[in-house]
Chain A
Amino acid sequence: MLRLEHVSRRWSEFSVEDACLDCSRGEYFVVMGPTGAGKTLLLQLIAGIYYPESGKIFINGRDVTFHPPEKRNVGYVPQNYALFPHLNVHDNIAYGLKFKGYSKPEIEKTVREIAEHLEIGSLLQRNVETLSGGEQQRVALARALAVNPLILLLDEPLSALDSKTRENLRGYLRRINRVFRVTVVHVTHDLVEAVSLADRMAVMSRGRILQVDRPEQILTRPSSPFIAEFTGSINVFRGYATPRENMTEIRVSSLSLWAAGSRRGEVTAVVRPESILLAKQHPQTSARNVFRGTVVGVEPRGAVYAVTIATNSGLTFTSYITRSALLELELRRGDQVYLFFKASEVHML
């Protein structure tokens, strides 16, 4: 479907070096890496916004290496969405259809259909500058999907949104991928976002693709110290999931983790360190996951502190807390603490 063969390109301070990729039809492919890794440039090379200095790009078996963007049939949603400010929502979505030779009634029909699908039917006459971040995101997706692209390229689609909207849109992106049977290449710097969405993912650093694999493999078998460090920054557990009480119970050794949703079978569960809260006393909380453990390490990690806690059942959790929280809790190695997090913060792969 999409194949990159040894693609290289430098642009400004960014570069893509010797990139090789192979995505199949309908695959949700995530490219993950820190800021400046060259992820956006990789996306723009696929879109045809820039041409590679060497290597080849194939879409559907066709060599498109030097085809202009308008001849590639890809949908591109940049990080800032780039909705045309002089057009309303309807005209934004209809923009690409004019170039497909659609008649007026066909354009109307397609715009309505796609707007219904993406639940933005009521926004069609709105000025794009009055939309919320989540709405803008949906309109940008609708505009890209309207022309029926073979590949949908998403540049950090969730980074500009608040955490609740982000949570909603994550499921939404997966649905789009399935309903429209479109291959998605999604770029992000967020590991949890990557592993919870991807069929397969690539980890990129300094222009190079370091590993391409299924998220579970990347988390459990990182191929390089760099990836290990990256994946070490989140909590990863392998366990057996059983649906229970409208939720999922995941047995990990002798512990039960509770996750939102319903799943059965072997799963990999991930929890962000910043989602795990700490307390000295048993917390008054609605969070389903509350465990007791011993502090085994406190380490500064940029603006936050990484607190490592070993539970009595032998699992280790890492929690990120702020300096003021650390001082308030007076945490030292050997202290007994409670750690807790919501079921919705547990992502099952």
Chain B
Amino acid sequence: MWLKPSSLTLAFSVLGSILILFLAVPVLLLYLTTPVESMLGIPYDEEAVRAVLLSLLAATTSTGISLLFGIPLAFILARYTFSSKSFVEAVVDLPLVIPHSVAGIAVLVAYSSRSTVGGLLNNLGIVIEDSFWGIVAAMTFVSATILINAARDGFQAVDREYEHVARTLGAPLHRVFFSVYLPLSFKPILSGAIMTWARAMSEVGAILVVAYFPKIAPILIVDRFMNYGLAASQPIACTLLTISIAIFMVLRFLARRR
């Protein structure tokens, strides 16, 4: 038997569909209006290939850094209360509200070779301006928040009684972390990492300021669009979109399976 949908369900479905179309149509049209032969030429476009590989490498490195430093921070935030906690949480969320160009300027002011910290980094051979590490720094600045919050929520959702039982069974806290907290928060951390990676991949504004060179794919697209127009930027845009979607889907699939 068919139940007549309520007017609310109907109205919401219509409104929702309009938004879905608004989101899906540009992506679809990008594929439909890009000549296939122009995309087939991308593997021979050395600059484009280099840019795409650089994007992938920088986004993955940035996500790795977010995981390495973000998971411990998330655990502390999830498990402990301390006086400066809300301040720390505000700092974590801050990059979300800063315009990306401003974020780029801020990173440059803080970590360029002329700054104090930048000077120290310089001694270690790490230069931020127009370098791979500059790209990674900008990506991490705009994306780490996602990972930290996802991991914190994941840790918070773990029943504390698991820890209590594990401790009485003889596990010190660091073993409890690896044998109980981490496996039980694996899914939220993995999906957080995927979103962090996707965010890093898509960043342009901050990187434009910090490290225009070497050109990552999104910047190369902007570059081609500004200099040669829409048609010239479309093939590489399409390629980047395809790669991003493919990786995103594979990771999502893996995340669901676990």
Report which A residues bind B (CB closer than 8 A): 44, 47-49, 68-70, 72, 74-78, 80, 82, 84-86, 95-96, 99-100, 143-144, 147, 149, 153
Shortest Cβ distance from residue B103 to the other chain A in the assembled complex, whole angstroms: 38
Is the beta-carbon distance between A96 and B164 smaller than 8 angstroms? no
| Shortest distance from the beta carbon of B204 to any chain A beta carbon, whole Å | 39
The reply to whether A69 and B164 form a contact with Cβ atoms under 8 Å apart is: yes
**Chain B neighbourhood of A100, CB < 8 A:** 170
Say how far A45's CB is from chain B's closest CB, in angstroms.
12
A95 contacts which chain B residues (CB < 8 A)? Answer: 166, 169, 171, 179
Complex Cα spacing A80 to B159, Å: 10
Residue-wise interface mask of B (168-189) relative to A, using a CB-CB cutoff of 8 A (1 in contact, 0 not)? 1111100100011001100000
> How distant is B244 from chain A, measured CB to nearest CB, in Å?
31
A84 to B170, CA, bound (A): 15
Bound state CA distance, A70 and B171, in angstroms? 6
Q: Which residues of A contact B180 (CB under 8 A)?
A: 84
User: In the complex, how many angstroms separate the beta carbon of B256 from the nearest chain A beta carbon?
Assistant: 16
Select from chain B the residue with minimum beta-carbon distance to A78: B161
Cα distance A31–B8 in the bound complex, in angstroms? 54
**How close is A202's CB to chain B, nearest CB, in angstroms?**
21
- Give the contacts of B99-137 with A (CB-CB under 8 A): none
A32 vs B180: C-alpha distance in the bound complex, in angstroms?
32
Say if the beta carbon of B165 comes within 8 Å of chain A: yes
Number of interface residues of B (CB under 8 A): 17
The 9 closest A-B pairs by CB, nearest first: A96-B169, A99-B170, A69-B167, A82-B161, A76-B168, A78-B161, A69-B168, A86-B183, A82-B165
Hey, which chain A residues are within 8 Å of B69, CB to CB? none
**Bound complex: CA of A144 vs CA of B167, how far in Å?**
11
A68 to B169, CA, bound (A): 11
Measured CB to CB, the nearest residue on chain A to B164 is: A49
Contacts of B161 in A (CB 8 A): 78, 80, 82
Contact A48 B167 (CB under 8 A): yes
Quick one: which of B47-75 are within 8 Å of A by CB?
none
Task: Let me know if B184 and A47 touch, CB within 8 A.
Answer: no
* Majority DSSP secondary structure for residues of B touching A: helix
The answer to whether B159 touches A99 (Cβ under 8 A) is no
Contacts of A72 in B (CB 8 A): 168
The answer on a CB contact under 8 Å between A47 and B169 is no
> Apart from A75-B168, A76-B165, A84-B180, what 10 extra A-B contacts exist at CB < 8 Å?
A49-B167, A69-B167, A70-B172, A78-B165, A86-B184, A96-B169, A96-B170, A99-B171, A143-B169, A153-B168
State the CA gap A188–B222 with chains docked (Å): 68
Please report the C-alpha to C-alpha distance between residue A49 and residue B184 in the assembled complex, in whole angstroms: 21
Tell me, in angstroms, the Cα distance from A70 to B167 when the chains sit together. 5
Q: Are A70 and B164 in contact (CB under 8 A)?
A: no
Q: B151-168 interface mask toward A, CB cutoff 8 Å, 1 = contact, 0 = none?
A: 000000001011011111
Cα(A85)–Cα(B184), bound, Å: 8
B168 touches A74 (CB 8 A): yes
A74–B165 Cα distance when bound, in Å, is 10
State how many angstroms separate the Cβ of A89 from the closest Cβ of chain B: 15
Residues of the A chain whose Cβ atoms lie less than 8 Å from the Cβ of B170? 70, 96, 99-100, 147
**Chain B residues within an 8 Å CB radius of A68:** 167, 172
- Closest chain-A Cβ to B237's Cβ sits at a distance in Å of 41
Instruction: Output the nearest chain A residue to B176 by Cβ-Cβ distance.
Output: A70
Contacts of B179 in A (CB 8 A): 95
Would you call B169 and A48 a contact (CB within 8 A)? no
**A144: which B residues are within 8 A, CB to CB?**
165, 168-169
B180 to chain A, nearest CB (A): 6
Give bound CA distance, A252 to B166, whole Å. Answer: 49
Residue of B nearest to A151 (CB): B168
| Residue in A78, A85, A86, A143 whose beta carbon sits within 8 Å of that of B164 in the complex | A78
B 19-50 contacts with A by CB, 8 A: none
**Closest CB in chain B relative to A129 CB, distance in Å:** 13
Contact assessment for B168 and A47 in the assembled complex, using a CB-CB cutoff below 8 Å: yes
Q: Which of B161, B164, B170, B172 lies at the interface centre, i.e. has the most chain A CB atoms within 10 A of its CB?
A: B170
Beta-carbon contact of A96 and B171 below 8 Å: yes
In the assembly, what is the distance between CA of A100 and CA of B162, in Å?
Answer: 19
